[in-house]
Amino acid sequence: MSTLSSRIDKAAEILQIKITKLKEGDKLQHKKSNSICEVENIENSEVKLSHLPQWLNLEDIKNNFVYLRYSSTNLTRKIEQILKTIGITDDELGIKILEAETTNFDMFFNNIDPISEIPIARLKIAWEILKGNDPFTKKEEKPVINNAVQQTKPIGQWSDLELLESYGYDCPLEIEEHLNKITKGRPAIIFDKEGRVDVEKSLYMVRKARHQETPSTFIIRQEMHKVYRVGEWPLEVFFECPIHSHILLMDGYCDECGMKWNVDDYEKNSFLRLISERESEVDIRLYKKMDMNELIENFPKTFLKFKDLKDEGKLPSLKRKLSKTHDTDPFRVIATHKTY
């Protein structure tokens, strides 16, 4: 059995973050000498460090230094503090408690505060090492047993991480309700640029929301994020049919006219909207395949109005922004199952 200190050293090594970018004031530690210095100035790819007379190339910095906060010494100390907080001591009993099934990753993650730049995947690897497992050895799969456990485990017993990994726009309503309950209706969900739940950042906010009020915007890793309540989603852009303003296109298709439209052809679609509003007796579908020049030739008077509106920045938008909540999404149907 490996000692706890050796596990901590290996875990700290996994959690080290390589230098990717620098800013003035960053504290660094030299890999070999362990000497500490601070970034004083940056010009292009040259960096001036305190205590050093010469400027260094950024690549030299990346190869020879680490962030002080992610140095092996600091990470080892931090892991020791976390284990002590959750009741793990460096003796036989402490290791038994650490290896017990009841001692889980959430206990470890919940004590990493404030949120670090360490990816959650690395944190999980480090946790497996602390538990005495080899995270890089493929475990024998037991799908039948695992599935049975997953299906029978009440959602109320799921960890915050399990809830967030399962939370999504089409997730079971029970997951959403339980997340809303533990966050007390406070903002706690952060989305990535693709509109997917950012599990790592959201996990941090869920932990905060359990015990205190949370803001609707929050800075993590020097980047501002909008924070949503459970059941709220980022604004999604829908497009109206150029002919039928009351119909939202689904993948460009209009149920009313049975046609597929190119939503990227903004000016043409706006022109067709004006034509449909001003030329009530014209079947606009016949003009769909025409380009702008052909449309202008057929509807010169409407084009004059189009030009005026364009100059004023008042062309029909055809865009409709909707918050993806259960009540406002025109496409989402929620299946609820009641027990009688």
pLDDT value at residue 145? 41
* Low-confidence spans in the chain with pLDDT less than 70: 1-2, 113-116, 139-152, 321-340
Asked if 79 and 130 count as a contact pair (C-beta separation under 8 A), the reply is yes
What the block records as the tokens of 88 is 């793990």
How much helix, strand and coil, in percent to the nearest 5, is found in the chain? 40, 15, 45
Asked if 37 and 64 count as a contact pair (C-beta separation under 8 A), the reply is no
Virtual torsion, Cα 134, 71, 197, 319, nearest 10 deg: -140
Q: Label residue 273 exposed, middle or buried (CB < 10 Å: 0-12, 13-18, 19+).
A: buried
Rounded Cα–Cα distance for residues 64 and 54 (Å): 15
Centre a 10 Å sphere on the Cβ of residue 137 and count the other Cβ atoms it contains: 7
pLDDT value at residue 200? 86
Virtual torsion, Cα 325, 327, 328, 334, nearest 10 deg: 80
* Residue among 3, 11, 333 nearest 173 (CA): 333
Return the SS3 of 74: helix
Rounded Cα–Cα distance for residues 331 and 324 (Å): 10
- Domain range summary for the chain, segments of one domain joined by +: 1-15+76-135, 17-70, 154-226, 236-323
pLDDT value at residue 83? 92
Which long-range contacts does 52-57 make (Cβ < 8 Å, 24+ apart)?
none
Rounded Cα–Cα distance for residues 191 and 31 (Å): 36
- Alpha-carbon distance values, 214 to 103, 164, 186, 219, 312 (Å): 28, 17, 6, 12, 41
pLDDT value at residue 67? 85
Q: Which residue blocks in the chain are alpha helix, DSSP H?
A: 4-15, 58-64, 72-85, 92-99, 105-109, 120-130, 143-152, 160-166, 173-182, 199-209, 266-278, 292-298, 300-312
Q: How many H-runs (helices) and E-runs (strands) does the chain carry?
A: 13, 11
Rounded Cα–Cα distance for residues 284 and 274 (Å): 10
Cα torsion angle, 131, 137, 139, 140, sign: negative
Task: Give residue-wise pLDDT tens across range 197-251.
Answer: 998 889 889 989 999 999 999 988 778 899 999 988 887 778 899 888 888 888 8
